Chains A and B, each alone.
Chain A
Amino acid sequence: MSSTPVPGVTGDREPLPSPSSSAARPRPPVGWRRRIWRLVPYVPALVPAAIVVAIAATLVVASGLHNFGLGFFGLAFNSNLNQFGMLVFIVGSFLTAVPALFLSMAIGLGIAIASTTYLPPFLAKIFDPFVDLLAGIPSVVYGIWAFLVIAPIFGNLLNPWAVAHLSFIPGFAGNSVSPTTAGVGLPISIFVLTLMSLPITTLLIRDALRSVPRDLWESGLALGATRWEVVRRVSLRHGSRGIWSAAFLGFGRAIGETVAVAMVIGSTDKLPTNVYDVTWTMSSFMFQTLDAAFGNSLYLAALAELALVLLVITLAVNLLGRRLVRHIYAEEVAGL
């Protein structure tokens, strides 16, 4: 790649003297020119980095790094009273993203193991793209489908069933009828987030499992182990980095997801009282209240600061997840 010497840029060519150059013209030393040329490719290459920095910088400026005090991480939110406690939204983000991550990893593991181990190759080749297709559906389309089709199922069927049968588990008891529309709230938001982070977790776990060398796999079988035993004890361990990476990146996806969640979370600035309740997440709250903040500079600053919190979380999680995986780009397939 760029390890082969590139003639011209690291150039060793002297400029050809022009015919009438016998008169000495002051020329810059060639080394200086060479060093400038070597930097030229960095200009376009640094564009993404520049954008990231610009985003962070803009949010920092917009928030003015206002000291909202500890109240920023408090519960009281009332824009009229200049109270900007964001805890509800932070909690909401985690309450939806963490369960979604667990579900997405569990299902992703199952699908990846099925695809690499149990399904005959031709079937795997047919089914694998479907999971990637999930990533192709825009968030807002998920949202409208979830809101109109799935939410009623949760509201009329699943939530009442859970209340009836699972109320011994703390949090599962109580009123499952949401104050707004039937079925919106935490459960369906988790459902949506699971679906949306499934492509990236499945893809990364599948890649990790595929990286197990053939004779390592066969060594396991040759010891009299079943496929499951080899997968569980050898393959998963061998691919553990990739699996952790799947977890981090999947979480990043889940917590950053905005529009679909906005449509089914219930959009209430209160902490949920049980698992069926409505609430709000950082991303969806930011999305839905920006226009309410027009003109209110304090409100805008608070929102920008919340954006910074989300940005930091996202960057941290993505950095950690990417450091674990050796590929350049884990998802060259479909821009996940």
Chain B
Amino acid sequence: MSGTLPTSEAPPSAESTVLSTRELSVLSKQRSILTHVNIDFAPRSLTAVIGPSGCGKTTFVRTLNRMVELTPGLSVEGSVNYLGQDIYGRGIDPVLVRRRIGMVFQRPTVFPMSIFENAAFGLRIIHESEDEIDKAVTEALQRSGLWDEVKDDLNRSAFSLSGGQQQRLCIARALAVRPRVLLLDEPTSALDPMASQRVEATMRGLKEEIVLVLVTHNVGQAARVSDRVAFLHAGNLVEVGPTAEILERPREALTQQFVTGRFS
């Protein structure tokens, strides 16, 4: 029941970090999946997380909104800090964490409802008023670039949309609750090139507003949309920095090998 929802932020400040991790490790019974990851995410940026398959990118991003807890047998050490609070701290409800840190999955996962109800889902469960829901849904659909394509009939079933449109609906759905961070786990891997382009355009737009963390196996995509790139290998954060640096002049040999396609 929030009276004022955040609109555009004040001019960026160098010290402000919306999300960061400190010594973040994830361990299963047999091995460690992530080891001592330290990374900061600045307010209006898109950080691409790249690395070979199995390096832990998906696990990493799932620790950022406590979705990693859904996988049995994993333990999380270290901290993930959202606006100065460790989201794994005592007394912190993951339900609230996930409202501030949203997620979009690999395949479009629209609910069996109308377009409007999909987007409104996150607001309905917090019992927002109809007016607020209306406004927020419209805004979210606009931010995700889907508005013009669906505004004529929002009561259509979400399944009547194409794959790319459904994925943008998922983005809109996540945006409707006004998160500060949006996690995207390979959001275009199930889409055709045209649809992927639309989603990338959406991401480029959103990174002016919120924090985006994009897991991608497509280095080209990272080059196209991201401000910073983080390279993970075997659970270790090998290198992180501005996109141009990492992709063209990486400091680590491993990074160099990966971005030039020696291994994937």
Contact = CB atoms under 8 A, between A and B. Distances in A.
Given A223-B173, A224-B96, A226-B95, A233 B105 contact: no
Contacts, number: 65
Contacts of B174: 222-223
A229 B67 contact: no
Interface of A: 121, 213, 215-216, 218-226, 229, 233-234, 237-238
B102 A223 contact: yes
A125 to B, nearest CB: 14
B220 interface: no
B95 A218 contact: no
B98 interface: yes
Interface string B117-144: 0000110111000000000000000000
Nearest to B96: A224
B170 interface: yes
28 contacts: A215-B105, A215-B106, A215-B107, A216-B109, A218-B105, A220-B121, A221-B70, A221-B98, A222-B174, A223-B98, A223-B99, A223-B122, A223-B173, A223-B174, A224-B96, A224-B98, A224-B125, A224-B126, A224-B177, A225-B95, A225-B121, A225-B122, A225-B125, A226-B125, A233-B121, A234-B111, A234-B112, A237-B111
Secondary structure type dominating chain A contacts = helix
Sorted nearest first, the 3 A-B pairs with minimum C-beta distance are A224-B99, A222-B103, A219-B109
B244 interface: no
B45 interface: no
Contacts of A222: 65, 67, 98, 102-103, 105, 174
A198 B18 CA distance: 51
Contacts of B102: 222-223
Contacts of A223: 98-99, 102, 121-122, 125, 173-174, 177
A317 B122 CA distance: 38
A89 to B, nearest CB: 41
B113 interface: yes
Contacts of A218: 67, 70, 105, 109
Contacts of B105: 215, 218-219, 222
A226 B97 CA distance: 12
A184 to B, nearest CB: 45
Query: Which of A215, A219, A226: most chain B Cβ within 10 A?
Result: A219
B106 to A, nearest CB: 7
Interface centre among B96, B102, B121 (most CB of A within 10 A): B121
B144 to A, nearest CB: 14
Candidate in B72, B105, B106, B113 with the most chain A CB atoms within 10 angstroms: B105
Contacts of B126: 224
